[in-house]
Chains A and B, each alone.
Chain A
Amino acid sequence: MQSFQFYSPNYLEDALKYIADRKQTCRTLAGGTDLIPMLKKEEIRPDYLLNINEVGELKGVEDLDNQVRIGATTTFTEMIESETLNRFFPLLVNAAASVGGPQIRNRGTIGGNVITNGPCADVLPGIVALDGQLELQSKQDGRRLVSVADVLVTAYETSIRSDELLTGILIQKPVQGTKSGFEKLGRRNAMAKARLNLSIALRQDPNGTISAVSIVPGAVMPVAVRMNDVESMLLGRKPTPVLIQAAADKLVEVVVNTAGIRWSSEYKVPVLKNIFKRVMWRVLAEDPQ
Chain B
Amino acid sequence: MTETIGKTKLTFTVNGRETEVLVDPSWTLLRVLRESLGLTGTKRGCEEGDCGLCTVIMEDRAVDSCLVMALQAQGKTVETIEGMGHEHALHPLQKAFIEEGAVQCGFCTPGMIMSSEALLRQNTHPTVEEIKVGLSGNLCRCTGYTKIFKAVAKGSESGGRL
Contact = CB atoms under 8 A, between A and B. Distances in A.
Interface of A: 1-10, 18, 29, 31-33, 36-37, 39-40, 49, 51, 53-54, 77, 100-104, 106-107, 189-191
Contact of B52 (A6, A53, A103): A103
B48 interface: yes
Contact of B26 (A4, A51, A103, A191): A4
A103 B69 contact: no
Nearest to A41: B48
Given A2-B26, A5-B25, A102-B62, A190 B133 contact: yes
B72 A53 contact: yes
B26 A107 contact: no
A36 B67 CA distance: 6
A54 B5 CA distance: 19
B136 A3 contact: no
Contacts of B69: 6, 29, 32, 36, 49, 51
Interface residues of B, number: 38
A5 B26 contact: no
23 contacts: A4-B26, A6-B8, A6-B25, A6-B69, A7-B2, A8-B1, A8-B72, A29-B72, A36-B28, A36-B68, A37-B47, A51-B71, A77-B61, A102-B115, A102-B118, A102-B119, A102-B134, A102-B136, A103-B49, A107-B68, A190-B137, A191-B49, A191-B139
B49 A37 contact: yes
B24 interface: yes
Contacts of A103: 49, 52, 55, 62-64, 67, 115, 137
Contact of B137 (A4, A18, A31, A191): A191
Interface in B35-52: 47-50, 52
Interface in B57-82: 61-64, 66-69, 71-72, 74
Interface string B1-29: 11111101000000000000000111010
Nearest to B59: A106
Interface string B118-145: 1100000000000001111111000000
